[in-house]
Structure 1
Amino acid sequence: MNLKHLRVFCQIVDSGSANLAAEKLHIAATAVSMQLSNLEESLGGKLFDRSTRPMSLTTLGQYIYPKAKALLSNARQMENEAKGIASGDYGWLSIGFVRSTLHSLIPESVRVMREEFPKIRIDLDEMLSEHQAENIRKGTIHIGISRQIGQYEKEKDMIYIPLIRDPLVAAIPINHPLAKKKTVTPSELDCLPFISFPKDPFSKFASQSLNYLQEHGATPNVGHEAKEIQTALGLVAAGLGITLVGKTVAKNNRTDVAFVPIKGKQLESEIFAITSSDKPSLVVQEFIRILCARAMH
C-alpha cells in the first residue's frame, strides 16, 4: 500500500466511477484499475462491490476511506511544510515538556510564539524531564521544559535556564476536612493514602515527594500509582487519596480538588528550560525569550 494507491482509491469514491477518476487524475483507466487491484491485494479484501452500478463501498472500503482521506491530507500538509522549511520560508521548533507545565508556561508561551512567528512550525512532545537531554541530542526536540525537585545533575553539553520556583502543595479531595484548612502539616496527610506519580522507573519526582513527607514527620502509605498528573488528580477527586503537585498546577485546575499549602519548610520544585550548549538557533533563542517573559508574570 502506498499513497498513490490511496489517492486513486479516494478519487474513485469522490468521482463516483473509475473512468471519471482516471480523467481527473490524467491517467489511463487501465492504470486506475491496476492500482486499485494492487491496493485491494495488499489489504487482503475488496474495497468496492462491483456487482452494483454505480459501485458501492464494501465494509472494508467504508473503513479505509475516511482514514485514507486523513492520511493524504496529512501527507500534503507535511510535504508543504517540509518544502517551506527546506526553502527557508518556514522554520521548525520542537518542544519537549512535562505535563504539569501545561498549567503554567506552555499554553501562553506557545500562543505568543505563534503570533510573533506565524511561519514557524511548532511541535509539542510530552516527555519526562529525565528524557529531554537525550532527545535534544538526537534532534527529536530543540528545547525541553523540565521540572525537578531539589538538586539535580546538569548535563555538561546542555544549558539550563531557570524559569519558575514552584513550591509543592497538597492536592486533597474537596469534601475532606483538610480541604478547608489554610495550611496542612505533612503528618496530617497520613489520614489518606498517598497517590504516587508519574509511574515511570526513570522519574525521581514520586520518590522525592515521598522522601520529603517522611523527613518532615509523615509516614505516607502509597495507595495508588498513576502514570501522569491528571490521572493522579482524578484519583484525588474520587476521594482515593492525596498527592503533591506544584503550586502553578492549582491555577485554573480542577474544582473538585483543594490545593492546600504545606506548613513548615516547603518543598520547592524548579521549572526550567533546557537546550544544547551549542549556540541555540534564533528560533530557540526567541522561544527562550518568550518563556522568560511569561515566567516573570
Structure 2
Amino acid sequence: MKIIDLHCDVLNKLSRFEDMSFLNDPRLDSNFERLKAGNVKVQVFAIYVHPKVPIEQRFQMALKQVEAFKKFVLTTPGVVHITEWEQIKELQEDEFGAVLSLEGCDCIGTDIEILKVLLDAGVKLVGLTWNYENDVAYGNLEDPNKGLKPFAKTVINYLNERDIILDVAHLNDAGFYELISLAKHVIASHSNSRTICANPRNLTDEQVKLIIEKGGRVHVVFYPPFIENEMEQATIPQIIDHIKHLVKLVGVENVGFGSDFDGIDFKVDGLTNASEYQNLTNALLQHFSEEEVRMMSYNGFEKYVLSLKA
C-alpha cells in the first residue's frame, strides 16, 4: 500500500544535529530508508519551533529548518519537492514526494511578510498554533473558551488567497469553531477521536463532522497518549478503533494518516517508525476492503488535494 503521511518532525531534528543523515540515520523515525521500506510515497515535513525558543530567534529557527529541508531532504535522489498538489499525481514509481508544512505560527509574530516568506519556500499546510498561545490563536492546552486573536483574520485571509490548507490539529475548541467559518480549506493533519480517547488534542464527533462538511479530512496520529487514555503504550488495534469510529462517522474517503514520527517520545507496538507502516495497512485489511485501505492510505488525500482549485 502506498502511503501519504501528513505529519513528521524530521526537520526539527535535522536542524539541531549537524551530524544527522536523512538517508539512514537510526535516530530518525522517518529517515529516507525507513520511509521507502514502509512504502511512504508522500511525506509532509513540518516546520516546528519549540515555544522555549526566544521570540526574536523563532523566525531564524524556522528558516534553519527550511534550509535543512533543502540541504538534506531535497538533495536525496528521487525526492521531488511538491510545490503544487498536481505533482502528486505525476510522481513516477521511483520518486518520493516531499511537502512542507508549518506547525504553529509562533515564528511569524504579527508580521504577515514572514508568513509570505515561508509560503514562498513551499509551505502547503499551516496550523495557527502548537499547544500554547501565540499572537494568532490559543493552543489546545490553553483555555478552550478563548477564541482566535485579531491578527488571525489577517493570517487566514492571506492563506485563503494562496489556497493553503489550514490545519486545526493543535487549536483549542473556541479557535476551532471560529476558524471553521473563516477558512477556505481545513484539515486535521494528526488528530484522533475524542470520543475514543478524551484528550483535548483529539477531535469531538461534532468537530470531525464540521471538518468534512467544510470539504476537509481527518488524519489519525500514532501517539499513544492520544490513542488510549493518556497511556504511554498503545497497539495497532487501538489505532484501528479510532479509524473505525471516524469511518463510521464521516466515511472512509475522509480518513488518513499523520504519524507524528520524530515528534513523539512514546510509540505504538509494531509501529515505531516509518518502515513499519505496512503493519498498520495489513491490520486494516482485516476490517476493511483493499480499496478502502488504499483510500485511507493514499487515494483519498490525492483526490482531495487535486480538487482544491476545482
- TM surpasses 0.5: no
Sort the TM-score into its range (normalised by shorter chain): under 0.3
- What is the TM-score with the length of structure 2 in the denominator? 0.23
Structure index of larger Rg: 1
User: Which of structures 1 and 2 has the larger relative contact order (alpha carbons within 8 angstroms, sep 6+)?
Assistant: 1
Which structure has more strand as a fraction of its residues?
1
- What is the TM-score with the length of structure 1 in the denominator? 0.24
Which structure has more helix as a fraction of its residues?
1
